[in-house]
Structure 1
């Protein structure tokens, strides 16, 4: 079975955590004692229903305030597919947490309250999903039961979002009317909305095609660790472990190690328990080369005729994640794939208004949760690709060297 990673997005109280709880419940992915604990807590609060949001909102502060603060990951599977869900916060204060959860997603699930329609935060999250190049987006119009399953309400929201999405880079968009609390169109088709002829949310998640989203052309293998076992049986073994970021690796392929430029050929590829005939994203493998070339963490194995160009000048969209603003001349550590360097901010080109998509070119800094275009120079060359081409080699994080805190996430422009 293949794997689908998807992240929820949307405004506060649109029902993201409740929807995930409903998916887990109806997919039989909850233990009986978990469900009993949630039912007991719901009754203790005086609810006449089971608060399914409690299945993901586990922090004490989340349960006290009734909002999601941190990203909660949940795992479940159906006979068709495995799933990893990132339940991300809807509050504007925690936009950075939403970016974290959506950065590895194959699909973004944007919820809106049918009573309120599109909100500023709904638009903000749609823009962020577009910037993160999440290839599939589902707009779930939730709480249809509170508007008497009115088709006109759904059609109006669908028109508004479709019109807004035309300004973004959204290759695949699906709009589904649901009620997370009642279960309408979540796992099974609802009889309360006979006017809706599409599939249920679960059916769409099981069948959306994600295999073609991976870059299988440009071979990229960042080396994470050099494997040299301390064993008499493997005293000649030398392998280079990492996760395939792009392309397909096979024994016998001609490769080059960057940044040294040393050529070699793949002798074999090992997984954790056996030798494999090929490796592709996102497999984690150990690659053996025919020649004893100098390879260390941070190097990248590529094809000789299709390799990234090392560069020290980075042009990127950056989401800033800390209270202290990002300013020109600021010095930070940059982590790109398995390589670490130091970087200095050259310029802040503009700040992007994620509600209107207006580029504010008068700003000279980025504040907390703001997104803008930034140029920087690194102390050593990085082996980068445009983010639109490869989400792994086209992204990086910025770290405050004094505190070790991640302060920014970047997407490299082409």
Structure 2
């Protein structure tokens, strides 16, 4: 049986027709069915995005000399093959491992193709556009002042930020249980993202955002002799030993998982353990950008590479590292940040800085502050490439983000 199954949409919803394609001869490769999207023609933009899929179907029908008949059905009810093709389409268009077709298979029938540097696009344009916009947003993100330190890490082989791992870890969530309920998750995510964006309400931040309440001379409420920025929060005499314990726990947890991976793969994990222990990020100091990157959440590629060397898949390795980093964030919040917040709240009560004052908008009659916030870290010593330079930033960044997989293309007319 070879069929094209069609049905009209209700008139109240759309004037377009959804066409679900099901081709079921034994000689048709399973790849062809996997490329079919569930709602192939929803609007004009969707048609343009799916042109290569349509072309591949036409090409296969022509070369295989298939007979294709239109059959009207009521939705997908009772049609096993239609549902099967839909499930394949759904999974294929969301997988990063979508297979490629030869260029001739999907460009011969149409005058539009996806090309980048004379390389014809792959068979999954949805992923192409998604990654293109992700790279654009990454460019804007790294142009922010709080991420300028990232450029200092590129000259070191032991710490290169893996942005895919970083995004995965930021969005990682375990199932709620007795120790991690929904209320804990909300606080955890708030703290994690504020830490990543260097937006925690530390005194050096508050002197800028609420200079009407926090004067320039204020120092750390725990040690009382240093300005309070993120690095000082960790190096403060009251928190330093606790932070050392938390980082040691982080490292030990990674060691344990690497040993487990070595046992499963029947490989010696000692070379990986030595590499991990030699990373610069485990030593916290006011001049170490690597420890700052780890604490902020910009995780290194080596965390994943060590697991891959022990025959663990990248996706599984990312889940392991994300779970370990989640535990690190939880300890940092509970054992350092919450205690710091308690000390600060006692001081604010004594100074009559109430919750009502803190949540009241900045008075409109006050001039903007000219205070320059203190930083424990040295200024980044690097040359930041201007965004309006001739440097092909997008091409370069996408290549790094995707680990060498050629998926960076732009629309052009053949």
Which band: TM-score by shorter chain? under 0.3
Higher relative contact order (CA 8 A, sep 6+): 2
Q: Which structure has greater strand proportion?
A: 1
| TM-score, reference length from structure 1 | 0.23
Q: Which structure has greater helix proportion?
A: 2
| TM-score, reference length from structure 2 | 0.23
